[in-house]
Structure 1
Amino acid sequence: MEEYVGAFDIGTTAIKGVLVNNQATIIGEYSILLDTYYGENGEIEQSPTDWWQGVKEITQKWWSELKLNPKQIVTLTFSGQMEDVISISSTYPNQRAILYSDTRSEQEAAYIMKKLPTIHDKTGNTIRSSTPLAKLLWLKENNVEVFDETQCFVFSSKDYAVYKLTNAFVTDPTTATTTGMMSLNTRDWIPEILETFGLSGNQLPKVYSSEEIVGYVSKAAAEETGLLESTPVLCGSGDAGASTMGAAAVNHGDTYFYIGTTGWAAIVQDSNKQNKGINTIFNLAHLPESLNISIAPVLNAGNVHKWAVETFANEGTDNKYEEFDALVETIPAGSNGLLFLPYLNGERCPVSDTDAKGAFWGIGPKTKKSDMARAVIEGICYSYKQLIDLITNQGSEGLLTLIGGGSKSSAWCQILADVIGRPVRVPIDSEYMPALGISSSAFVSLGWSESYNDFSKQFLVPVEAEMYEPDMVKHEVYEGTYQQYLKLYPNLKGIYD
């Protein structure tokens, strides 16, 4: 009877569940879409009960459609969106989770930075409105009943799923680094920060390494999911750690792009090094204890691509994404002089401005929708070029790995290679690479791999991949238009203000 790791990736738009055997072969890929609540004052929330319902639906598909025996699931592991604030309370059990992109706590973030201006030195990160510490202070001030009755706050969607399975309050170092309360060096909560802002360590989860067993499937959870009672559950990792593993980035200097609904550029560094002094960059703990991840995040990636597809592809076509790609490929590099600033949702990096807006510049009497379509993709790629220049030395050479749903667009991948001027490697089925990446924690826990590095060499590096080589003639064109692009935001900022 073949054994499997059950791996779940609880993202912003969907929950993905996969089964992975001891040769890292994936079967049983299922996805459940999620609803998001948007309020009038910057509130962006989801219902944790929807996450749990998604986990249950996927496990039921394993039994009913794959005819799997629950005995075949030997370990469960998870990745999920980070920087959430999730209240676990028996008094208020149906509280929505405050998501990472929620902006209601800008004043609290400014207050924290004024109170502890050197907090970056301890946590590795600047406090932003997205930081859970700021959100906790907002909740403490604006919903004191929920705050006081909360048994424990957790900070990743996967932490909630682990709680529902095991009744354990836990989190992992990657997720905890984003909270503004954990030391990047020691991977422990910082008492000084908790005391300064009147927070109790009793309301925080215990930090475990990703490969540690944090509990076992409870009797109640077994009845709801069909999983065997006492199946081991690992701590898992926040999505950035899982994605970094999935990109086979486990050595100092490894770089990759992630393009999902939102996205980021990342570089792996030894734990004694970090990008200090750049407020828009996150420095996070990696799954291997000796490594950190420097991440430059963007709010505008796949969500902007989706908007463009819906806007410029013809209604009624069988496949709007394929038609959009074909539209993009009819236009030469540089979009006939049209530039696009992709800040449809504000932005976090390379600029930090929640009020930023998207814009086309250079529209003339001959501008066509195909020019606009290509300009959108080029604008997103210019934004990613800014990210990679932030976290690495400009002009760095070598391979870049690209993972996430955006990698399914061949036109987008090629334009990215041309803009960056470096080869881009896209693993086959790269949208499932974060789930495969987090399965590494189970392989290490089970002894199927000796280490994370061993898992990467054995199962990730050899994965079949599409290679996109840069067209250096087009790259020269982009070098010029990129300099124009860099002037867009500074000159439009006055309009936003």
Structure 2
Amino acid sequence: MHYIAAFDLGTTAIKGVLLSQEGKIFAEHSFNIHTSLGENNEIEQNPEEWWEGVQSITHEWFSVHGVSSQSIKAITFSGQMEDVILIQEGENTTSAILYSDNRANIEAEEINKKLPGLYELTGNRITSSSPISKLLWLKKNSISNSDKRIHVVFSAKDYIIYKLTGSVVTDYTTAATSGFMNIESRKWETQLLSSLGIEQFMLPELTSSEQEVGQVSAFGANETGFCLHTPVLCGAGDAGASTLGAGAISEGDCYMYLGTTGWIAVPSKDHSPKDHGIFTLAHIIQELNISIAPLLNVGNVHRWAVEAFIQSGNYADFEDEVQKSPPGSNHLLFLPYVHGERCPVQDSEAKGAFWGIGPKTKKSDFARAVLEGICFSLFQIMQMLMQKNVGSITLIGGGARSHSWCQLLADLTNKTVRVPANSEYLPSIGIAATAFQSLGWVEDYKEFVDQYIISSQSKLYVPNKRNNEIYKDQYKIYLKLYESMKKIYQ
């Protein structure tokens, strides 16, 4: 039996999947990772913990399940993007600035003022979460007295590739979030480094997702158990992998990713920059881009609500509580901006809020209102993003395991919601397509999607028209909440 090893390095966990040549998951394992929150809202992780997670997963495969390392024919990755990870040869990296870290507000404003047309090249607005802003912050606050040249990568998976092979690379999808890549030519605009005085940072080599960027080194083999010289592919940032995993490879396709954070995405040939925090990313498929709207408040707010309202802290108990409240949560509304937000509003100071509490409001109404609020936020972005009608919506990510959440989305959008089997692992399955193509197991990505994704079993959620009418009225009020409340905290 031959396998592809696919790793998805998310915000809260690393998922590892062994996918057979027949497209079946043979083994999967997860490793939880921790996030450090600083005194000034710095958000960081330790990349060496990512490496520890990969080692834990491979140990599970080889020592517990008895998988032969020789049966693994290629290794590929997806991972969180917009990180800043500095690599200095011979040294472990113990601090990575995450995508959700907004410390570089001043630097973002400075870049936009100095380079007002930059977004026309990159396809994206420069914000405090952009790596280009974070690098300028590091130059000012952390390494201002150092002239040493330092490699930098922008995705968690790129650090693991470095540990396995010694190669410093990244893919086009990840690079599109950095603030340095020309979205049309898919090349670095290297003059930006010198124009901002950050030329000591060395950008990674740009490659396609299916490109072999190295082979497992002696160090990598000893640490993980992989065979020496096993091919390692560049893979893609999580948005690229998820787009393939959702089968979105043509214009007009649409899917939602419900993870710790989340997004809505559609493939497009349009290179032009968008407003309201919508990104234009390079699709794994060369001739396409991805119009993608990211949300900071998705599964993390779901988790917060479970811990806040359910004594057991159990998701199943939360689902039961949600079902005790009727659609519309007895007129209780929830603004889900617990962690600030980047789309449909770009406001790191935005707050979460309940509105409409009355004498008959119950705990179950609070629980249901949280899910409805997240769904309203998703629906608002969907209306901004879609240029034509969608037949159905594909949901992937851990949030798709919540039946209440899926039905709410179907009722609110008045669209059939499709949840593929193994939805939680679709980013890993999607990125495995790069290895299938690299090894010649499929002719192209369309064959992979047709054979291993579209044909897989899916659960369908059909909209309830009565509930849709309730949500239409609720949504009109929801749209007024942010504009009314932002005056309070600004």
Code of the aligned partner of 2:397: G
Deviation at 1:63, TM superposition (A): 0.8
Where does residue 255 of structure 1 map in the other structure? Answer: 254
Matched, 1:385 2:379: yes
**Aligned-CA RMSD value:** 1.4
Cα 1:90–1:416 change in 2 (3 A) is: same
Q: What is the CA–CA distance in structure 2 between the aligned matches of 1:207 and 1:43, rounded to whole Å?
A: 28
Deviation at 1:251, TM superposition (A): 0.6
Matched, 1:340 2:334: yes
Deviation at 1:146, TM superposition (A): 8.5
Where does residue 217 of structure 2 map in the other structure? Answer: 218
Q: What is the CA–CA distance in structure 2 between the aligned matches of 1:95 and 1:148, rounded to whole Å?
A: 20
Tell me if the contact between 1:89 and 1:149 (Cα under 8 Å) persists in the aligned partners: no
Deviation at 1:195, TM superposition (A): 3.0
Tell me if the contact between 1:399 and 1:424 (Cα under 8 Å) persists in the aligned partners: yes
Where does residue 37 of structure 2 map in the other structure? Answer: 38
Q: What is the CA–CA distance in structure 1 between the aligned matches of 2:217 and 2:146, rounded to whole Å?
A: 27
SS of corresponding position for 1:8: strand
Where does residue 61 of structure 2 map in the other structure? Answer: 62
Cα 1:393–1:399 change in 2 (3 A) is: same
Output aligned runs, 1:30-179, within 5 Å: 30-90=29-89, 93-144=92-143, 148-179=147-178
Q: What is the CA–CA distance in structure 1 between the aligned matches of 2:201 and 2:133, rounded to whole Å?
A: 18
Q: What is the CA–CA distance in structure 1 between the aligned matches of 2:262 and 2:61, rounded to whole Å?
A: 30
Output aligned runs, 1:229-244, within 5 Å: 229-244=228-243
Q: Choose from 264, 272, 293 the match for 1:296.
A: 293
Output aligned runs, 1:437-476, within 5 Å: 437-476=430-469
CA offsets, 1:154-204, max 9 Å, x none? Answer: 000000000000000100000000000001111110133233213438711
Where does residue 395 of structure 2 map in the other structure? Answer: 402
Deviation at 1:92, TM superposition (A): 5.6
Where does residue 356 of structure 2 map in the other structure? Answer: 362
Cα 1:406–1:146 change in 2 (3 A) is: farther
SS of corresponding position for 1:356: coil
Q: What is the CA–CA distance in structure 2 between the aligned matches of 1:65 and 1:98, rounded to whole Å?
A: 34
SS of corresponding position for 2:29: strand
Cα 1:214–1:359 change in 2 (3 A) is: same
Larger mean CA deviation between 63-72 and 87-96 belongs to 87-96
Where does residue 471 of structure 2 map in the other structure? Answer: 478
Tell me if the contact between 1:126 and 1:279 (Cα under 8 Å) persists in the aligned partners: no
Q: Which runs of 5+ in 1 are unaligned?
A: none
Q: Which runs of 5+ in 2 are unaligned?
A: none
CA offsets, 1:356-402, max 9 Å, x none? Answer: 111000001111001111111100000000110111137x2311100
SS of corresponding position for 2:188: coil
CA offsets, 1:267-293, max 9 Å, x none? Answer: 1112xx146341410100010101100
Q: What is the CA–CA distance in structure 1 between the aligned matches of 2:139 and 2:201, rounded to whole Å?
A: 15
Tell me if the contact between 2:124 and 2:274 (Cα under 8 Å) persists in the aligned partners: no
Cα 1:471–1:300 change in 2 (3 A) is: same
Where does residue 312 of structure 1 map in the other structure? Answer: 309
Deviation at 1:150, TM superposition (A): 4.9
Larger mean CA deviation between 342-351 and 195-204 belongs to 195-204
Deviation at 1:488, TM superposition (A): 0.3
Q: What is the CA–CA distance in structure 2 between the aligned matches of 1:441 and 1:91, rounded to whole Å?
A: 30
Q: What is the CA–CA distance in structure 2 between the aligned matches of 1:123 and 1:448, rounded to whole Å?
A: 34
Tell me if the contact between 1:283 and 1:295 (Cα under 8 Å) persists in the aligned partners: yes
Output aligned runs, 1:416-455, within 5 Å: 416-455=409-448
Q: What is the CA–CA distance in structure 1 between the aligned matches of 2:357 and 2:300, rounded to whole Å?
A: 23
SS of corresponding position for 1:295: strand
Deviation at 1:431, TM superposition (A): 0.4
Q: What is the CA–CA distance in structure 2 between the aligned matches of 1:148 and 1:465, rounded to whole Å?
A: 54
CA offsets, 1:20-66, max 9 Å, x none? Answer: 11111012110000011100112110011001111111111111111
Q: What is the CA–CA distance in structure 2 between the aligned matches of 1:172 and 1:133, rounded to whole Å?
A: 16
Tell me if the contact between 1:217 and 1:233 (Cα under 8 Å) persists in the aligned partners: yes
Code of the aligned partner of 2:370: V
Code of the aligned partner of 1:217: V
Tell me if the contact between 2:149 and 2:200 (Cα under 8 Å) persists in the aligned partners: no
Q: What is the CA–CA distance in structure 1 between the aligned matches of 2:146 and 2:400, rounded to whole Å?
A: 41
Equivalent pairs, count:
490
CA offsets, 1:422-478, max 9 Å, x none? Answer: 110001120000000000000010001111111111111011000001111111110
Output aligned runs, 1:178-193, within 5 Å: 178-193=177-192
Cα 1:74–1:397 change in 2 (3 A) is: closer
Q: Choose from 272, 275, 282 the match for 1:278.
A: 275
CA offsets, 1:295-324, max 9 Å, x none? Answer: 111100001111111122233xxx821121
Cα 1:150–1:16 change in 2 (3 A) is: farther
SS of corresponding position for 2:44: strand
Q: What is the CA–CA distance in structure 2 between the aligned matches of 1:146 and 1:485, rounded to whole Å?
A: 49
Q: What is the CA–CA distance in structure 2 between the aligned matches of 1:485 and 1:37, rounded to whole Å?
A: 33
Tell me if the contact between 2:276 and 2:343 (Cα under 8 Å) persists in the aligned partners: no
Tell me if the contact between 2:183 and 2:271 (Cα under 8 Å) persists in the aligned partners: no
Code of the aligned partner of 1:371: D
Code of the aligned partner of 1:308: A
Tell me if the contact between 1:139 and 1:147 (Cα under 8 Å) persists in the aligned partners: no
Q: What is the CA–CA distance in structure 1 between the aligned matches of 2:361 and 2:471, rounded to whole Å?
A: 19
Q: What is the CA–CA distance in structure 2 between the aligned matches of 1:261 and 1:156, rounded to whole Å?
A: 17
Deviation at 1:260, TM superposition (A): 0.2
Deviation at 1:332, TM superposition (A): 1.6
SS of corresponding position for 1:30: strand
Cα 1:472–1:148 change in 2 (3 A) is: farther
User: Normalising to structure 1: TM-score of the pair?
Assistant: 0.96
Q: What is the CA–CA distance in structure 1 between the aligned matches of 2:398 and 2:226, rounded to whole Å?
A: 29
Q: What is the CA–CA distance in structure 1 between the aligned matches of 2:303 and 2:11, rounded to whole Å?
A: 15
SS of corresponding position for 2:192: helix
SS of corresponding position for 2:182: coil
